[in-house]
Amino acid sequence: MKSLRNALSILTAILSLIFLAYAFFPSSFAQEGAKAKEAQKETVEEPDPDLQSPRAVFKTFLTAMKKYKSGDKEAIKDALKCLDFSALPPFVKKEKGEELAIKLLASINRIRYVVYSRIPAHKDGDPYVFYKSKEGRIVIEKVGANWKFSKETVEAVPAIYLSLADKPPVKGAVTEIQYKSLAFKIRSFLPPVFSKKFIYLELWQWAAGVVLLILTYLSYLILFQILKFFLRRGEKRFSFLRNTALLERLARPLALFILANVLIGVCDLLDMPLLLYKWVLLFLSLLKIFSFLVVLYRGVDILAEFLLAGARRTVTNIDDILIPLLQKIGRVLVVIYGIIALASLFEVNITSLIAGLGLGGLAFALAAKDTVENLFGSITVLLDQPFKVGDYIRLEGIEGTVEAIGLRSTRIRTPYNSLVSLPNSKLISTSVDNLGARQYRRTRTMLSLTYDTPPEKIEAFCEGVRELIKAHPKTRKDYFHVHLNEFSASSLDVILNVYFYAKDFTTELALKEELFLAIIKLANKLGVEFAFPTQTVHLASTPGEPPPEVKVSDVAKEKEKALEIAKKLAANFAK
């Protein structure tokens, strides 16, 4: 929960910063794509035959709205091109464009009958003022190469429409589209005092806004708990999730996403002034995008968990490496989608930016040379599989356990518990010693016996050690060595070369300890002593006295005794 709160705090901070930056420095968002935007502007401002004079604008707009009324939904595009939306963000045009066109038509129908011959047909000249009141003006002015209803008119349309709504349309006016919003109906039922303005909004709008905020908060809490409940129930069904909190963590961003979509529709019904509406819509659109990105990002993790659950049941290891790589690619794609969504929201020309990359293609290729090599290195590891996650490897003076194989590098945990990141490009040309792929682990050492050990006891001791190796459940039976190998300065050295079946170093140490302890017990029972660096001084015997008699035991009896002891000791080995 703490990490989730931190993530949401960061998200809120980012939303606030973007919102404030766009509010106070809107021009900075277009700085990088200035040339592209200029080219786009020139394209948009090419002369349009339908917008070459105030008269042509009126005729185009009224004709398009008449067709739209008759059922031609595409005609609204011709009507909207007559309005200058340059003062409003594109998402406001998308949400409010149709409504503004309908309200403008209704306002014109209530002002006077439009006679085209009385409207100027000049291609150049002063703006044409069709209507003027305290609520605003309806003006047609030249914008670039074309004439349009001014941005001042677009912003004033809601107020003008509201002031004229009670009047009937003039005789002969274009048949208008009936538009009675919820706000209009609320105003008709409330006393006139509630329609008075206070800081940009009417009193009833302030009251509705407060109620809406309270309802929004309560709806969020209820929706969050409902989604959390169903997702928790889903965790029991989705047993593949090792991290059962993943589904629960979807609840909060999913609730925010649903709520943002609902609020966009509700705020549209409040009939707020466009200047205020665009900031509210901007914040809700950002919240919608970021919450959806969080849902997608965590959805990628859940999908990866599902695929990994299936990968654990397979014999091959290629999917164990491929799925984490695909998970990282999925996360990158989610981030790219978020950048595109934000660029679209702020009307950044993505096509021009991508085309600009082509101009710097060579520089980009040179800069990305190492990245491409690392990518091919990761593909090599994926296809050739010289090692997998969990293997103990040694290469270029580095050895340790492989913890992760990424798109750029492979991370290795060394015996010193440090983490080494090795670029994947080096894996193409470097020899990799995969110690983790060993079926057996060799142990080679010398068993140093004292020089006074009789030969028959040495033979018996060696035979007993061989029997211990044969009886051990975790040793290789077809290849091992136990022989008297060397006369050292202070010992008779018996070579012990044995292979253990152990998956890791810890298991190997435990098996070695078990065998070595059995060898020590065997030596103690046979009376064989292990040597250490010493010097022995021999005194000559007294002249005339016979040398001390050395008793030589029967070799066969010693071997039989050693075998019997070895079998008893082998019974204690862990199966």
- Whether the CB-CB separation of 413 and 400 falls below 8 Å is answered with yes
Q: What angle, rounded to 10 degrees, do the helices at 318-345 and 274-311 form?
A: 170
What pLDDT was estimated at residue 372?
66
- Whether the CB-CB separation of 489 and 474 falls below 8 Å is answered with no
CA-based nearest residue to 421, from 406, 431, 435: 406
Other CB atoms within a 10 A radius of the CB of residue 167 amount to 12
What pLDDT was estimated at residue 512?
92
Whole-number Cα distances in Å, 215 to 81, 96, 209, 212, 219:
38, 24, 10, 5, 6
555 backbone dihedrals φ, ψ, rounded to 5°: -60, -40
Q: Is 174 helix (H, G, I), strand (E, B) or coil?
A: coil
Q: Which two tokens stand for residue 540?
A: 């000559």
Return the percent helix, strand and coil in the chain, to nearest 5.
Answer: 60, 15, 30
What pLDDT was estimated at residue 447?
92
331 backbone dihedrals φ, ψ, rounded to 5°: -65, -40
What pLDDT was estimated at residue 538?
61
Residue 84 has what DSSP assignment? Answer: -
CA-based nearest residue to 530, from 491, 482, 495, 559: 491
- Whether the CB-CB separation of 449 and 461 falls below 8 Å is answered with yes
Measure the CA–CA gap between 179 and 165, rounded to whole angstroms: 10
Measure the CA–CA gap between 37 and 544, rounded to whole angstroms: 121
Whole-number Cα distances in Å, 161 to 34, 98, 108, 169, 490:
36, 14, 9, 12, 112
Q: In what order do the strands lie in the sheet with 441-449?
A: 441-449, 492-500, 481-487
What pLDDT was estimated at residue 566?
77
Measure the CA–CA gap between 442 and 499, rounded to whole angstroms: 4
Residue 428 carries which side chain, given as an amino acid letter?
I
Q: Is 172 exposed, middle or buried (0-12, 13-18, 19+ CB in 10 A)?
A: exposed
Which pTM does this prediction carry?
Answer: 0.53
Other CB atoms within a 10 A radius of the CB of residue 64 amount to 23
* Sign of the dihedral through C-alpha 504, 507, 513, 514: negative
Q: Return averaged pLDDT per consecutive 10 residues of the chain, 575 residues in all.
A: 44 46 43 42 65 90 87 87 85 81 87 88 88 89 90 87 82 65 61 67 72 79 76 59 62 82 76 75 86 86 77 64 77 85 74 57 56 69 75 84 80 87 79 81 91 89 92 90 90 92 85 92 90 68 55 65 78 67
CA-based nearest residue to 143, from 154, 133, 135: 154
Residue 549 has what DSSP assignment? Answer: P
Q: Which two tokens stand for residue 274?
A: 């466009």
* Sign of the dihedral through C-alpha 48, 349, 361, 327: negative
Q: Which two tokens stand for residue 200?
A: 């940009």
Report the length, in residues, of the chain.
575
What pLDDT was estimated at residue 396?
78
Q: Give the distance between the most distant pair of CA atoms in the chain.
A: 157
**Residue tagged 């028959």 (tokens):** 456
Q: Is 56 exposed, middle or buried (0-12, 13-18, 19+ CB in 10 A)?
A: buried
Task: Quote the radius of gyration of the chain (alpha carbons, Å).
Answer: 43
Give residues with Cβ within 8 angstroms of 514, minimum separation 6: 472, 573, 574
CATH of domain 439-535+552-570: 3.30.70.100
Domain ranges of the chain: 45-179, 205-348, 380-436, 439-535+552-570
Q: Which two tokens stand for residue 249?
A: 């963590």
Measure the CA–CA gap between 75 and 377, rounded to whole angstroms: 56
What pLDDT was estimated at residue 246?
64
Residue 475 has what DSSP assignment? Answer: B
Measure the CA–CA gap between 501 and 254, rounded to whole angstroms: 51
Q: Phi/psi zone of residue 38: left (φ > 0), alpha (ψ -120 to 50 degrees), beta?
A: alpha
CATH of domain 380-436: 2.30.30.60
Q: Is 481 helix (H, G, I), strand (E, B) or coil?
A: strand
- Whether the CB-CB separation of 147 and 57 falls below 8 Å is answered with yes
